[in-house]
Amino acid sequence: MDSLQTFQVLWFVLIFGLLLGYALLDGFDLGVATLLPFLGRTKEDKDALVASIGPVWDGNEVWLITGGGALFAAFPHAYATAFSGFYPAMMLVLLALIFRAVSMEFRAHDSARAGLWEKTLAGGSALAALLFGVALGNVIYGVPISGRMEYDGSFFTLLRPVPLVFGVAGLAAVLLQGAAWAVKKTEGALQERAFRAAKILLGINAAAAVVYFIVMAGAFDGLFQNVFFWAALLMTLAGLAGLSFSLQKKNDRAPFWESSCAFAGLFLAAGAAQFPTLIRASNDPALSLTIYNSSTGLYTLQIMAVIALVGMPIVLGYTIFVYRLFKGKVRGDDSY
């Protein structure tokens, strides 16, 4: 492997890591927000749930912004195809995230319409989680691409059965992340409801994971010979099995990590099916955008690698600092 290929692979791994970090971190706050109407019986309950994600949700989105920026700099052709081709879907995601952010602020300052803002918070969060999964499913399963590296379909092209399986599995994983986070951060009757929700969502996730892996194995040739696919399957099984045990024992610390392990397994399976492709062409495999035909030059990849070597530890350090600063349980009198 020459130097250019080495850096192309390196940047695929780095972008994968950034998007995985976003999925795990922003996943739980999207999940908590979606579950807000179901877990929160009183204003104090809802205040506690919002307070559990309030100090960290905006920092979690840094991982998505950084991943998108890295994709733009390292693989500009793939970035252009994805963001121009999926423009209507991306606008829906953007609107959902805007409603999520606005609703959290307005809920705190517009008490007369707090119920409305809670509904938009839950709806925007659920829609964003679903659409992220559908977008990932389309990128992996394939979309029609022209000879000019342009998306050659419509909005409804994106709503096919296989990408929707990705969307449903992703939404289920996000909801389980949210329930596990609520178990970790709350106490009393609210925590008991979070435990019950996590048990229900565990069963839903197990069923969704079975369908997801069956679809993956049927849709992509050679996955059974891919060691990362088997590692992903084992991670998902181990995470769900450990979570089942922890929920039975009413352990409130382990479920979040076990849920994250299962979620990471789903994500790793997608990466195993995708590498080295970035956007698969469903109409002609020769038109697929890969890390080799859509990357920038070697010099740019090298410079960016140096920047990443400096920047990534800062992002990781900041994330660890924030989570340590706001560790511990939230209570009904906490607000955000």
Question: Greatest CA separation found in the chain?
Answer: 63
Residue 177: its pLDDT value, please?
A: 97
Q: Could you give the angle at the alpha carbon of 102 between the alpha carbons of 97 and 103, nearest 5°?
A: 95
Residue 166: its pLDDT value, please?
A: 94
Which among 9, 139, 136, 11 has a CA at the least distance from the CA of 81? Answer: 139
- 191, 183 contact by CB (below 8 A): yes
Residue 193: its pLDDT value, please?
A: 96
The mean pLDDT of 65-71, rounded to a whole number, is: 88
Tell me if 182 is assigned to some domain. Answer: yes
Confidence band (pLDDT; 50, 70, 90) for 68? Answer: confident
How high is the mean pLDDT of the chain? 90
Confidence band (pLDDT; 50, 70, 90) for 332? Answer: low
Count how many domains the chain has. Answer: 1
Q: Could you give the angle at the alpha carbon of 168 between the alpha carbons of 166 and 169, nearest 5°?
A: 65
Residue 148: its pLDDT value, please?
A: 78
Distances from the Cα of 258 to the Cα of 20, 242, 323, angstroms: 15, 6, 18
Residue 155 has pLDDT above 80, yes or no: no
Tell me if 335 is assigned to some domain. Answer: no
Please tell me the distance from the alpha carbon of residue 293 to that of residue 78, in angstroms, as a whole number. Answer: 9
Confidence band (pLDDT; 50, 70, 90) for 336? Answer: low
Tell me if 183 is assigned to some domain. Answer: yes
Tell me if 64 is assigned to some domain. Answer: yes
List, for residues 263-310, the tens digit of each pLDDT value.
999 999 999 999 999 999 988 888 899 999 999 999 999 999 998 888
Please tell me the distance from the alpha carbon of residue 288 to that of residue 283, in angstroms, as a whole number. Answer: 9
Confidence band (pLDDT; 50, 70, 90) for 167? Answer: very high
Residue 1 has pLDDT above 60, yes or no: no
Confidence band (pLDDT; 50, 70, 90) for 54? Answer: confident
The mean pLDDT of 98-105, rounded to a whole number, is: 86
Tell me if 336 is assigned to some domain. Answer: no
Please tell me the distance from the alpha carbon of residue 178 to that of residue 49, in angstroms, as a whole number. Answer: 10
Token reading at 122: 């839950």
What are the two backbone dihedrals, phi and then psi, of residue 120, each rounded to the nearest 5 degrees? -70, -30
Tell me if 267 is assigned to some domain. Answer: yes
Tell me if 295 is assigned to some domain. Answer: yes
Expressed as residue numbers, the domain containing 281 is 3-325
Which among 99, 96, 94 has a CA at the least distance from the CA of 117? Answer: 99
Bond preceding residue 88 cis, omega within 30 of 0: no
